[in-house]
Amino acid sequence: MLLPKVQNALNQQVQIEANASQKYLAMACWCDANALEGCARFFYRHSDEERMHMLKLVHYINDAGGTVSIPAVELPHSEYQNIRELFEIAYTHEQKVSAAIDNLIELCITEKDKQTANFLQWYLNEQHEEEALYRTLIDRIKLIGIQDRGLYFIDREVDEVNAKKAAAEAAAGK
């Protein structure tokens, strides 16, 4: 049985993941509207991933005999100055999610809920990968530059990274 404090914190994380899914969906739409199809594919997929993160939490709470609160989602930001700003906002968001996961694990340790702390390790690893991915992509965007044909090359680069990630996940049965 989940402790009320832990259950509340897990439900807050459900909301964070749901909001992330909407944020990335809005980013995908912005990319689509700005002829950046590779970036759009990246964010459509990332939006789906965040929904999967949310569902994983929902199932965990239910399986542990807890009560899930399905949250209302925030209206996502939908205007960006350029693709670099968009990626930087996504990266900042991922850093906030990582901090939320850290706090959640700390709470579980304080409350001696080893099972939930163990379950959350998966999120810790996932956040580590996501932050590293965004750092790499932002570095490449800076190198390529967003002027002239830069956008074309950025779009190809992001599409390639996305395709590799999708293939790796398919191979791992994720």
Residues that bind ligand FEO (CB under 6 A): 17, 20, 50, 53, 94, 97, 130
Whether 88 and 134 have beta carbons less than 8 Å apart is answered as no
Closest C-alpha among 63, 40, 46 to residue 97: 46
CB of 63 to ligand FEO, least distance (A): 19
CB of 97 or CB of 141, closer to ligand FEO: 97
Q: Which is nearer to ligand FEO, 50 or 113 (CB)?
A: 50
Among 7, 19, 45, 161, CA closest to 97: 19
Q: Between 130 and 155, name the residue whose CB sits nearer to ligand FEO.
A: 130
The CA distances from residue 55 to 90, 108, 150, 164, in Å, are 21, 20, 37, 24
- Local structure of 73: helix, strand or coil: coil
Tell the smallest beta-carbon distance from residue 37 to ligand FEO (Å): 22
In the bound complex, what is the minimum distance in angstroms from residue 152's beta carbon to ligand FEO? 27
Residue with the CB atom nearest ligand FEO in the bound state: 53
